[in-house]
């Protein structure tokens, strides 16, 4: 019972020390509420990315709207890198499941009907492993942000000194040490990790854009080969009819008949080759959409010409520069490198170790309460190496950002010029070639009804019409690919007409 006052004094002193230390550390730099908001919204939120244009059987080729927050400006100037605002509204992210689809899990069921491109997009959003991996990378970046905002744990030390002689009392001393940074280290560390979260979000948007582009390209290729296979089958039938007409024509030479027969065999051969390419395109589409390989894919609809609104290259470049996920990722990387450079400069100053100290004797009435102060003296190591490394990495990230901007401008210019050239060609076909061919078909039907033309001549004219249609189909497929690519980059449709009917 004699030691009860001593124990009470020890407990009271330790509680007082803890209160003083915690209050002192919390007054250094409070945790911003915006950081907690950013962390809570780092998880994926639902976002509709597809926009169908047409009826229920119309497949929208691609309509993706990428929502990006204002990217942090790249560091510039001699004063050091700039700092992004933690209070900015974080960008929305695609909602993804926790795990990708398993081989024996919920597999999509093929009901024998042709698929729409919308269904492939929805399946890719839900089950594509690359998108799921990006979602987990966002969670990892959010965890690093949480860790960067934590206060360091205090260090509690209790020393007990037993007497070597019976005349000396037992001494118990305790101290609670808090590490207090002299500069804004925790602030810059949180800023760097916050930029890391933004970079992970941009990577998810970039990967989503890449997946959508792969699905769109493969879908257009499948639709192209489906239509081309039908036309080449028709061409093979016309070639057979032409060969038969050549054989039955009076006065036809062996060379003419053999040439017609060879042309019929070649047309049938080309038709078989197109079927092989069609299957390869379907396999590529299944891989792009993370569709099970044992489930067949046949798309509904056919490509059609959708004229775009008047395009202006400077406005297209400006739209892509402000919305393309690849640039947002480069900007976030530059901002993170800038904050890391600021952090390296701040870490040149050592932390201050401070805290209360209490000492008591078991047999004595006198207690002692004091404080402890300790810090490194930065004479030799002032973090020079890490500062130089961080500065070089920051400057490299700015150069990479400039390179990404220049590459985006070049990509947009190349797609713009090719798209406008193809649009002129397709306009000429729809305004001049197609009406002329329709008129010639009508005249040909009248001549056949009057028996004023040989059958092989009529067949040859139909073959020419069919070849022109196949050339138009090839141009239409290239135009659709370029249009979808540009729409993905700017995040909005450029035409109100459907690309697939």
3 state DSSP class of 160: strand
Residue % of the chain over a pLDDT of 70: 71
Q: Which two tokens stand for residue 170?
A: 């037992």
Q: What is the pTM of this model?
A: 0.67
Q: Provide the pLDDT for residue 53.
A: 37
Domain that holds residue 137: 4-490
pLDDT tops 60 at residue 370: yes
Q: Is residue 497 part of a domain?
A: no
If pLDDT is split at 50, 70 and 90, which confidence band does 497 have? low
Q: Is residue 496 part of a domain?
A: no
Residue % of the chain over a pLDDT of 90: 14
pLDDT tops 60 at residue 420: yes
Q: Provide the pLDDT for residue 60.
A: 38
Q: pLDDT tens, 126-157?
A: 888 888 898 999 999 999 999 998 888 999 99
Q: Is residue 157 part of a domain?
A: yes
Whole-number mean pLDDT of the chain? 74
Integer distance in angstroms from the first to the last C-alpha of the chain? 93
CA–CA separation, 42 and 65 (whole Å): 19
- Poorest-confidence range of 169-183, 222-236, 262-276? 262-276
Sheet holding 155-161, edge to edge: 155-161, 171-180, 352-361, 367-374
Sign of CA dihedral 95, 197, 194, 399: negative
Kind plus residue range of the DSSP H or E element containing 496: none
Q: Provide the pLDDT for residue 401.
A: 92
Length of the chain, please?
501
Q: Is residue 501 part of a domain?
A: no
If pLDDT is split at 50, 70 and 90, which confidence band does 403 have? very high
pLDDT tops 70 at residue 468: yes
Please report how the helices 185-248 and 33-40 are oriented relative to each other, as an axis angle in degrees rounded to 10.
30
**What is the number of structural domains in the chain?**
1
179 C-beta neighbours (distance < 10 Å), count: 18
Q: Provide the pLDDT for residue 344.
A: 92
Q: Is residue 171 part of a domain?
A: yes
If pLDDT is split at 50, 70 and 90, which confidence band does 337 have? very high
Sign of CA dihedral 263, 269, 272, 273: negative
Instruction: Tell the burial category of 46 from Cβ atoms under 10 Å away from its Cβ (0-12, 13-18, 19+).
Output: exposed
Rounded average pLDDT over 378-389: 90
Q: Is residue 500 part of a domain?
A: no
CATH code for the domain in which residue 140 is found: 1.20.1600.10
CA–CA separation, 64 and 318 (whole Å): 18
Rounded average pLDDT over 400-414: 91
Rounded average pLDDT over 88-105: 41
Q: Is residue 499 part of a domain?
A: no
156 phi and psi, to 5 degrees? Answer: -100, 125
Q: Is residue 94 part of a domain?
A: yes
Buried b (16+ CB within 10 A) or exposed e, 101-127: beeeeeebeeeeeebbbbbbbebbbbb
Q: Provide the pLDDT for residue 108.
A: 52
pLDDT tops 70 at residue 83: no
């Amino acid at each position: 019972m004699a030691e009860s006052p001593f124990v009470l004094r020890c407990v009271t002193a330790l509680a007082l020390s803890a209160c003083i230390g915690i209050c002192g550390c919390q007054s250094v730099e409070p945790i911003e509420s915006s950081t907690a908001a950013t962390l809570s919204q780092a998880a994926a939120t639902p976002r509709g990315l597809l926009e169908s244009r047409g009826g229920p059987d119309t497949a929208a080729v691609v309509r993706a709207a990428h929502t990006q927050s204002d990217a942090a400006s790249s560091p510039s100037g001699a004063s050091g890198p700039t700092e992004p605002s933690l209070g900015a509204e974080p960008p929305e992210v695609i909602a993804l499941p926790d795990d990708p689809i398993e081989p024996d899990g919920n597999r999509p069921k093929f009901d024998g009907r042709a698929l729409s491109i919308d269904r492939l997009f929805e399946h890719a959003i839900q089950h594509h492993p690359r998108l799921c991996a990006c979602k987990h990378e966002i969670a990892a970046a959010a965890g690093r942000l949480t860790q960067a905002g934590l206060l360091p744990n205090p260090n509690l030390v209790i020393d007990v000194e037993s007497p070597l002689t019976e005349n000396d009392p037992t001494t118990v001393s305790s101290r609670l040490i808090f590490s207090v940074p002299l500069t804004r280290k925790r602030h810059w560390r949180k800023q760097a990790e916050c930029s890391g979260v933004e970079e992970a979000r941009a990577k998810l948007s970039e990967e989503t854009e890449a997946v959508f582009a792969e699905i769109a390209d493969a879908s257009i290729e499948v639709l192209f080969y489906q239509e081309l296979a039908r036309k080449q089958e028709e061409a093979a039938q016309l070639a057979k009819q032409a060969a038969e007409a050549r054989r039955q024509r009076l006065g036809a030479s062996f060379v003419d008949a053999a040439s017609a027969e060879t042309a019929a065999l070649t047309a049938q051969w080309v038709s078989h080759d197109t079927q092989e390419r069609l299957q390869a395109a379907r396999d590529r589409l299944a891989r792009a959409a993370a569709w099970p390989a044992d489930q067949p894919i046949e798309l509904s609809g056919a490509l059609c010409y959708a004229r775009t609104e008047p395009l202006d290259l400077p406005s297209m470049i400006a739209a892509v520069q402000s919305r393309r996920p690849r640039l947002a990722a480069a900007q976030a990387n530059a901002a993170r490198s800038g904050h890391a450079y600021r952090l390296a400069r701040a870490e040149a100053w050592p932390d201050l170790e401070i805290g209360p100290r209490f000492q008591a004797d078991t047999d004595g009435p006198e207690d002692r309460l004091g404080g402890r102060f300790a810090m490194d003296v930065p004479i030799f190591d002032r973090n020079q190496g890490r500062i130089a490394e961080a500065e070089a990495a920051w400057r490299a990230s700015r150069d990479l950002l400039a390179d990404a901007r220049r590459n985006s401008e070049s990509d947009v210019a190349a797609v713009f010029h090719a798209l406008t050239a193809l649009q002129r060609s397709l306009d000429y076909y729809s305004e001049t070639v197609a009406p002329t061919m329709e008129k010639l078909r009508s005249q040909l039907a009248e001549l056949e009804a009057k028996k004023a033309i040989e059958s092989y001549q009529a067949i040859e004219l139909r073959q020419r019409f069919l070849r022109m249609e196949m050339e138009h189909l090839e141009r239409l497929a290239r135009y659709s690919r370029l249009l979808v690519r540009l729409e993905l980059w700017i995040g909005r449709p450029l035409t109100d007409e459907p690309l697939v009917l």
